[in-house]
Chain A
Amino acid sequence: MIIYTNEGNPLGLKLLMLAKFAKQSVQLQVVNLNDAKHKDLLVLPTLELDNGQRLFSSVAIAKYLFDEEDQLRDEWLEWSTTLLAPALAHHMAVGHRADPNALPVLNALVKKLDDRLKSSPYLAGNKLTAADISVWSLLAPDGTLKGAQNVDSLRDWYGKVKALPEVQAALAEQPLKDLSFNALQNANRYGGLYHVPLKLPNTADTGKLLA
């Protein structure tokens, strides 16, 4: 299988981790959407299966590689790409794209994760699933949790996942220091994830978890 990704794209790490857990051999290719030969790619990263079929959604790929009916896992997978990833992209944005509304939204999302991991060892229950991989790979780049307060359960889970050999193998190929959410600008022709509106939660009290 081939992963087409652009330089620094944190979602590339996600696909690499999924492939390692699924024990699939995979080749990472850094490409540029502006190149004429890649004009058919809509969104990066895109995974090309051995039969030539291409998938550009990390959740679709996770569900394809780990084909099991688990609604809770599917809900967390969808949550990670439609809520967590856009909030991180908005939060890490610099210059005119910087968004002061992103921090409270992200705080609420991180709190939800910590609350969940207080009562459950992994997001979808007692064992590691693609949902954990998906969320972990988003929190790892750009030091999101650096200096975060009162998220002990989340930290324990983060350390536990990081220690897994599959994660270490992925990080050896794609070091965290090279990844940044700003790279998402070049991941598609629709302005990255900046056009995805932030969903302000109704619950006002989100605390001050993140630095």
Chain B
Amino acid sequence: MCDVAVVKKIANCLGVAPGKVQLNDEQVVTRTIGQNKTVQGFATILESLARESKSEAAQNSTSTKEVKAQVYQWLEFAVLYVAPGSKDKYVSKQLLADFNKLFISKSYLVGNFITLADLAVYYAIYDLMKSLSPVDKENYLNLSRWFDHLQQRPEVHQGEPLLNFTTIYLHGWATGTHI
């Protein structure tokens, strides 16, 4: 998913009007609100959306200075490593393993609540998760649990079909051979 699409998705999640979202001459995502107020850069835009939003995720993301810093680092991680790395076989394996390890002990990336960090990484890793086989999904069980938990929220899936994380996949795949 490209930066422009993700910014729009997250604006929707937060219940904020995205304004005009496009790439500028430097190929950097830019948000224009009203006549001439612009914000540049993926993470800076998400922070501006969070300030305008009354949603749970936005309130959580800006609760303390420490939380804000941790959220920001995942926004940057999504831009620098998850989105481009997902397209590389070796990098994506490492990313999946690292996230799977992180989610052994946590349910969300920052604190014990949903923040912009989860949303940004969710959309950045979406295509990679979609490409996984059922066996892979089981290998990355903790990551799958986090992803599945997020996608159940209507403001996150936004009407897109949900990825399948059920473990009895063989039944649907080969009903005839299943006795």
List residues of chain A with CB under 8 Å of any chain B CB: 42-43, 51, 53, 55-57, 59-61, 63-64, 67, 71, 74-75, 78-79, 81-83, 86, 108, 112, 188-191, 193, 195-197, 199-203
Contact = CB atoms under 8 A, between A and B. Distances in A.
Contacts of A191: 85, 88, 90-91
A43 B65 contact: no
B26 A108 contact: yes
Interface string B127-164: 00000000000000000000000000000000000000
27 contacts: A42-B77, A42-B98, A55-B69, A55-B70, A55-B73, A56-B77, A57-B73, A57-B77, A59-B43, A64-B69, A67-B65, A71-B44, A71-B48, A75-B39, A75-B41, A75-B44, A78-B42, A78-B43, A78-B76, A82-B41, A82-B76, A189-B98, A193-B80, A195-B84, A195-B91, A197-B84, A201-B27
Contacts of B95: 190
B59 interface: no
A81 B70 CA distance: 16
Contacts of A193: 80
A81 B44 CA distance: 12
A81 B26 CA distance: 14
A195 B85 contact: yes
Contacts of A55: 69-70, 73
A74 B47 contact: yes
Nearest 5 CB-CB pairs, A to B? A57-B73, A78-B41, A199-B27, A64-B69, A60-B72
The B interface, classified by DSSP as helix, strand, loop or mixed, is helix
A136 to B, nearest CB: 19
Given A71-B39, A191-B91, A196-B84, A83 B72 contact: no
B39 A201 contact: no
Contacts of A82: 28, 41-42, 76, 79-80
Nearest to B43: A78
Contacts, number: 99
Counting chain A CB atoms within 10 Å of each CB, the highest count among B43, B79, B90, B91 belongs to: B43
A144 B178 CA distance: 64
A61 B39 CA distance: 21
Contact of A60 (B25, B73, B80): B73
Nearest to B71: A60
Contacts of A196: 80, 84
Contacts of A57: 72-73, 76-77
B147 to A, nearest CB: 19
Nearest to B95: A190
Contacts of A108: 26
A84 to B, nearest CB: 11
Counting chain A CB atoms within 10 Å of each CB, the highest count among B44, B79, B94 belongs to: B44
A140 to B, nearest CB: 21
A79 B41 CA distance: 7
B76 A190 contact: no
A199 B77 CA distance: 17
Contacts of A59: 43, 72-73, 76
A63 B68 contact: yes
A71 B40 CA distance: 9
Counting chain B CB atoms within 10 Å of each CB, the highest count among A60, A64, A86 belongs to: A60
Nearest to B37: A71
A202 B30 CA distance: 15
A62 to B, nearest CB: 9
Contacts of B94: 189-190
Contacts of B85: 190-191, 195
